[in-house]
Amino acid sequence: MNLILIGFMGSGKSTVARHLSRLLSLSLVEMDEIVYQKTKTQNMHEVFALGGEALLRETEIAIAKEYALKKNQIISTGGGIVLNHLGLDSFKETGGKVIFLNASFDTILSRLIDDNSRPLFKDKAVAKKLYDFRMPLYLSYADAVIDTDDLIAEEVALKIQQRDMYRK
């Protein structure tokens, strides 16, 4: 079985995934890194310059279908994976458990204050609308919700471990 972490950008998916991977002795899959490999880019700005958000979403779906067939992984998704059901459906159909790392928009703002690497977070008002639009989608896919506002990544990983969602 796989554990799939979803949430808005800045919710802690990548950092929590690293800790959880070590805690559970499972492989770590960082979807954004695989997007860069598959598109031969270095960062999200280059992905968007090459093919826009459409290229990102198409690549995410292909990655999800490929990695859903593998087992014993912690998968950190991109924040927009919920925008097309094909990606998360692939994970769920193969028994993956989806964990939503829920962070308030204020928490996300404080975490991303100096981060210029996210094309969809350039305009804070637009990012807030995107956040509001995605929230119900994250909740609809989640097998578990972990509120991360007042926790550090290690604490979030421990909470997930304590939920005992993963069975080898």
Residues in the chain: 168
CATH class for the domain made up of 3-163: alpha beta
Burial of 150 (0-12, 13-18, 19+ CB in 10 A): exposed
Other beta carbons less than 10 A from residue 153's beta carbon: 18
CA dist., res. 130 & res. 168, Å (int): 36
Query: Which tokens in the block code for residue 107?
Result: 């928490």
User: Domain residues of the chain, as ranges?
Assistant: 3-163
Question: What is the pTM (predicted TM-score) of this model?
Answer: 0.92
Reading the chain (168 residues) residue by residue, the pLDDT tens digits are 899 999 998 899 999 999 999 999 999 999 999 999 999 999 988 999 999 889 999 999 999 999 999 999 999 999 999 998 899 999 999 999 999 999 999 999 888 777 666 656 677 888 899 999 999 999 999 999 999 999 999 999 999 998 876 654
User: CA-CA distance, 5 to 14, in Å (whole number)?
Assistant: 8
